[in-house]
Amino acid sequence: MKALLVVDYTKDFVDGKLPVGEPAILLESAICQITEQAVEQDDFVVMAVDLHEEGDTLHPESKLFPPHNIRDTEGRHLYGKLADVYERHRDRIYWMDKTRYSAFCGTDLDQKLRERGITEIAIIGVCTDICVLHTAVDAYNKGYAITVYEDGVASFNPEGHAWALGHFRAALGANVTSSR
């Protein structure tokens, strides 16, 4: 069995409070297609979604970024048609709140993957050079084989995006491929 991690594809990260913008908007079709295919293949699909609290000045990100993905706000909702995919397959997709860049940090993700005997994970979402990267590094350190769909990740930093794709290949041994 494989797993698909959909990282932070929310309104705030696509076109909201901390937007990747056009590169993330252009991912919508691929992200939905990759997610639908994973559900159909009976892969373990995880929506790893950033969660912050209103007014939390102690979180390290509060010094780096404007408030985003605040609990119970519209900005934390899945972006576009991915919200529909999630609603259709809600019983087959695991929603997981995360409070750090990596989907593994402070969550039960590793436990959920190991319970299912999963050794291979695919990662899509935003930002390539922040949350996707930190999740991939933790996955590598935990011994998972990693695939990153190049047409399923984006960043507001084009240089960081390109660097991260190279890093996935060269330093993590990840399979960087297209979903097509």
Q: Give the model's confidence band at 87: pLDDT under 50 very low, under 70 low, under 90 confident, else very high.
A: very high
Cα–Cα distance between 148 and 125 in angstroms, integer?
10
What is the reported pLDDT for 108? Answer: 98
DSSP letter, residue 92: G
Domains and CATH numbers, the chain: 2-177 (3.40.50.850)
What is the reported pLDDT for 79? Answer: 98
List 123's β-bridge partners, or say none: 5, 148
What is the reported pLDDT for 62? Answer: 85
pLDDT in tens, 19-70: 999 999 999 999 999 999 999 999 999 999 999 999 999 888 888 988 899 9
Cα 125 to chain centroid distance, Å, stands at 4
What is the reported pLDDT for 58? Answer: 87
Contacts of 70 (CB under 8 A, 6+ apart): 52, 53, 54, 76
What is the reported pLDDT for 61? Answer: 87
As a dihedral over the C-alpha atoms of residue 67, residue 133, residue 80, residue 33, rounded to 10 degrees, the angle is -170
Q: Is the pLDDT of residue 180 over 80?
A: yes
**pTM greater than the 0.95 cutoff:** yes
Cα–Cα distance between 136 and 129 in angstroms, integer?
10
Q: Is the pLDDT of residue 1 over 80?
A: no
User: 66 versus 90: which is more confidently predicted?
Assistant: 90
Q: Is the pLDDT of residue 11 over 80?
A: yes
What are residue 83's phi and psi, to 5 degrees? -60, -40
pLDDT in tens, 123-175: 999 999 999 999 999 999 999 999 999 999 999 999 999 999 999 999 999 99
What is the reported pLDDT for 18? Answer: 94
What are residue 159's phi and psi, to 5 degrees? -70, -40
> Average pLDDT in the 68-75 region?
96
